[in-house]
Chains A and B, each alone.
Chain A
Amino acid sequence: MNKKMRFTLTMLIGTVLVLSLTMCKKSDAQAAAENDGALKQVNLKMIAPGTPQVDQALVNASISEYLADELNVNFEFEQIDWAGWQDRNNLIIASGEEVDVLFTAPWSGYETNAAKGAFLDVAEMLPEYAPGIANSNYNWTLVAGKVGDKLYGIPTYQMMAQQRGFLVNKALLDKYDMEFDESKVYSPEDFEPYLKVIKENEPNIIPLYTLHSKLLSFTDPWERQGPLEVTSIDATGDEAVYQNIYKSDMYIKNMKIARDWFEKGYVNADIATTREDPINMLAAGNCFAIVFQTNPPARASQEKMCGKELAGFHLMPAFMATSLIQGAMFSIPRTSKNPERALMFLDKMHTDKKLVNMLVYGLEDRHFVKVSDNAIKAAPGIDPDKPSYYNLQWMFGNQALLYTYGDEDPEAPSLLDKFNQDAIKSPALGFTYDSSAMRNEIAALSNVAAEFDPVISAGVVDVYKEGTYDTFLAKLEAAGIDRLLEDQNKQLNEWLSQQ
């Protein structure tokens, strides 16, 4: 059996070796082929998370056909259900499965996978095979896909900035003649009078419904850089420096507010245990406000989802951070046999309006019909609630190229553009932390955070009186938070000095 295993593994290594050799060779061969003006047909496999679509095979075939002249690929796009995405994504990478274009993001292990060499560095290939991306008006976002001078991921152009705060049921605001200025940024305590009115007048409505997880850190503009959220950078601040979130002034202030609100009954009493999605509660009219993204460009879809008018009480200006740009990226895994073609495809996905719209909305006349040049609606016979093909709008290439669907605001694309451009840029924008030296610290800190964060941030107990807060800080220290901060700031400073 040893022999058998050795055989298997040798085969695996062999494949990798042969692969890397053929890769070098291919570049030449391909260059030659391109001179002749014809590319050999190859398979191109793309994998991303999402709900598998009924008509995927049909769309895949149409895309292959559409790209026949320029790319000559046999295109296969496989969507892996969210349920299986984490496992499958990890296994695809760890087992060396052959994939040409793979979705990645910080929440799909981008940073660790890049550090472990799962993706190809396409920095040098980019100008030749993806001039559209290299010269796009958002090519500055590529910095987020870089680790050092290696380019591992191509960010999709989508809503790359974020604004967070309280999302509010507008009908209740109107009912009590309350209002706030949606162009302003407030502090959490400014929200208390509104909660008070609801608490006093609406016995059946919970003023603020939220999950314990990240109630507080979510109300602050943390950069969310790195795999762990115990340390972070204030994305709206001037100085790029990692700090212990739980020791920050912002956090300590909010912690007191959370406790105060919990005691006054402004927050759901089951905050520590609930698993009800707050947006469901808002939609059902069971609560007045939730902690959420308040990005104005997202409002329309949020209102559609809740079936009611909403208002955003911003707790921070819109800001842009590395991890938000990285929120949707495509990488070329090192197992790809045709990285050039994969990159050419990515380039198309960023520049070819028809292709992006096919990936998201499917085929014209079958899945959608045009209403005007840039607006479409569901094709006759397609149930808009259960379409046979409809994908996530923010995932593929360049969202700005999308048609508007159904009753979407025709101004949506320009709104999105403006939102991204006006956002405050994090002082560490473009920096990606490599955590590989801190594996043990991260393991220990993750456990400490899982144990204490819900208790600390939910406001269910008086963390000062019971000494929980001090225990927490002590345990963080014992778990090595200082070593992590030191490593993060060291890398960050090195990066800053190279900018």
Chain B
Amino acid sequence: MKFKRFKILIRDIKKYKALLLILSPPVIYLIINNYIPMLGVIIAFKEINYSDGILGSPWVGFKNFRFLFATSDAFVITRNTLGYNTAFIIMNIIVPVSIAIALNELRNKWLPRIYQAVMLFPYFISMVVTSYLVLALLSHNNGFFNSALMPFLGKDPVNWYDAPVYWPFFLVAINVWKTAGYTSIIYLASLAGIDPQLYEAIAIDGGGKWAQIRYISIPMLRPIIIVMTLLSIGKIFNSDFGLFFQVPLQSGTLFPVTNVIDTYVYRSLILTNDLGMAAAAGFYQAIVGLILVLTTNTIVKKINPANSLF
């Protein structure tokens, strides 16, 4: 039995040696660039001291992981990380897909191109600069909201950086603003590859625009949407550090809604700069991501094997 499988393996390798050959440069790259350094995960289970070196330092089991769960913050940061990422995943499907479909319908030669280029702009503005721009909107004294918008609405000025209730909306909005134009390009590329005859076929059958979108555009986009979602799920315990650290200006009052795992870990280790604890946090995030992706991937596979990641 075993021998037979081995024989099949040899046969497959022989048969597909051209493909394997094509694969080999990127695979070698991954080994050098990713897999060898990946052995550094052992740091998560060690208490590093430089006199013994990385390998010689004593093993400490899960001691480095303790700080992640030690305080009541553990619940808050896990909730925030999961909550925001879920919101981002959903918004990053709805908004960019809508943008892509709408742009695709504008057959005008120039306008869609201009819209698309312009919508990519926020992506180039670094989070630090974004935080200045947000401050220009929300600043207590001369921010746009307090000096123009709130009086216009007939409301009193708000101390935005001390008002946690608004921030989930702000953060989601900033995330969408920054990434929607970028992500929509992926969907637009997929739509660009669709054969126009498919739409015509529906139209000839009397299907309107909505039917064309529903029966052609969406199904054609579904695989890429699923893949993008799966990839995001893998990173669900990680977050855009700049968004949660820079943009709220580290305002303490906002912590209950802005503190995520990455910012918590950063603040925990900024003083001690403990390699072991940093590695432990990364390992924890990766393991959770891996478990979630494997689970979702299995479900996707059950429904439609063609859409699964692997």
Contact = CB atoms under 8 A, between A and B. Distances in A.
Nearest to B131: A275
Contact of A447 (B268, B272, B274, B277): B268
A117 B51 contact: yes
B196 to A, nearest CB: 48
A112 B252 contact: no
A117 B47 CA distance: 12
Contact of A439 (B31, B252, B259, B277): B277
Contacts of A451: 252, 255, 259
A446 B39 CA distance: 29
A227 B51 CA distance: 22
Contacts of B159: 460
Contact of A116 (B35, B48, B162): B48
Interface in B31-48: 31, 35-36, 39, 48
B67 A443 contact: yes
A492 B189 CA distance: 65
A450 B250 contact: yes
Contact of A90 (B39, B71, B273): B273
A433 to B, nearest CB: 12
Contacts of B264: 447
Sort A-B residue pairs by CB-CB distance and give the 7 closest, nearest first.
A117-B51, A443-B268, A227-B271, A443-B67, A451-B252, A451-B255, A118-B50
Contact of B139 (A8, A9, A270, A446): A270
A440 B252 contact: no
Contacts, number: 112
A478 B71 contact: yes
Nearest to A13: B53
Interface of A: 1-2, 4-5, 8-9, 12-13, 16, 90, 93-94, 96, 109, 112-113, 116-118, 227-228, 269-270, 272-273, 275, 334, 435, 439-440, 442-444, 446-447, 450-455, 460-461, 478-479
B72 interface: yes
Interface of B: 31, 35-36, 39, 48-56, 66-67, 70-73, 135, 139-141, 159, 161-162, 249-253, 255, 259, 264, 267-275, 277
A93 B251 CA distance: 32
B162 A461 contact: yes
Given A440-B70, A443-B67, A450 B54 contact: no
B269 A443 contact: yes
Given A2-B39, A439-B277, A444-B71, 6 more contacts: A4-B36, A9-B54, A109-B273, A270-B141, A272-B249, A447-B267
B268 A273 contact: no
A267 to B, nearest CB: 13
16 contacts: A1-B35, A5-B39, A9-B55, A13-B53, A96-B53, A270-B141, A439-B67, A443-B70, A443-B269, A443-B272, A446-B270, A446-B271, A447-B73, A452-B252, A478-B72, A479-B71
A9 B37 CA distance: 11
A331 to B, nearest CB: 12
B36 A1 contact: yes
B214 to A, nearest CB: 47
